[in-house]
Amino acid sequence: MHPDYWHARWNDGRIGFNQPDGNPLLQRHWSTLGLPTGSQVFVPLAGKSPDLLWLAARGHRVLAVELSPLAVEQFFAENVIEPTVSRSRYGVHHRAGGIEIICGDVFDLDREALADCTAFYDRAALIALPAPLRQRYADEVYAALPASCRGLLVSLEYPPTELDGPPFAVDEMQVRALYQRDWSVEVLERQDILASQPAFQVQGLTAMHNVAYQLRRR
């Protein structure tokens, strides 16, 4: 999507994707990655997700990237955290405690920016991107993550003819096509979420699942 699309959504407060209580699949499956305390976790397209706080509370250093300055401002203001702010070629860095949010474009990050990340957490990032950008995201952003990196990917499945994304439906076949060359891909849980999504039912969706994957760099 064009950046203006996301800026407009944040300006208008159309952020139904935000989960104020955090993501239950993260909370259930994160420990399967077996990461040492202090590992740096990359969180792409982070929004103002409370998952950043959840990861930091588990002793991780968090490196997030988010396009919208409003999202970044709201994250720190709502959690009553005062970040220090600096600039680099990647964007505007906001740092507080173990959390760093770069306000910038995920496609501007390179190997140097991600060099310390031993893990990633991708929820509603892959599925926020249309198909051509998803391929670029896997080929450029995931490829810039270091060897031995592993992470949790939470994707979304629904009958693709029933809705124009975002969120886009990205089923297991597509996840494998994007990642299997460089990552081992394991399904951890497929969760039926239709009953908890009245807004999508109104739009005509007849099925909707969240799927948690563990990815490990080959």
Ligand X SMILES: C[S@@+](CC[C@H](N)C(=O)[O-])C[C@H]1O[C@@H](n2cnc3c(N)ncnc32)[C@H](O)[C@@H]1O
Minimal CB distance to ligand X: which residue?
47
Distance CA 178, CA 6 (A): 24
Spatial distance between the Cα atoms of 181 and 60, rounded to a whole number of angstroms: 28
Assess 210 for contact with ligand X (CB under 6 A).
Answer: no
| Minimum separation from the CB atom of position 107 to ligand X (A) | 6
When asked if residue 26 is in the footprint of ligand X (CB under 6 A), the reply is no
Rounded Cα–Cα distance for residues 104 and 143 (Å): 19
Q: Does 106 bind ligand X (CB under 6 A)?
A: yes
66 is known to lie in a ligand binding site: yes
- Find the binder of ligand X among 18, 88, 196, 206 (CB under 6 A): 18
Residue with tokens 């407009």, as numbered in its chain: 8
Smaller CB distance to ligand X: residue 69 or 146?
Answer: 69
46 binds ligand X (CB under 6 A): yes
Q: What is the dihedral of CA 80, 82, 40, 33, to 10 degrees?
A: 0
- Find the binder of ligand X among 124, 145, 178, 208 (CB under 6 A): 124
Buried b / exposed e across 9-20, counting CB within 10 Å, b at 16+? Answer: bbeeeeeeeeee
Instruction: Find the shortest distance in angstroms from Cβ 2 to ligand X.
Output: 9
- Residue numbers in the known binding site are 10, 45, 66, 123
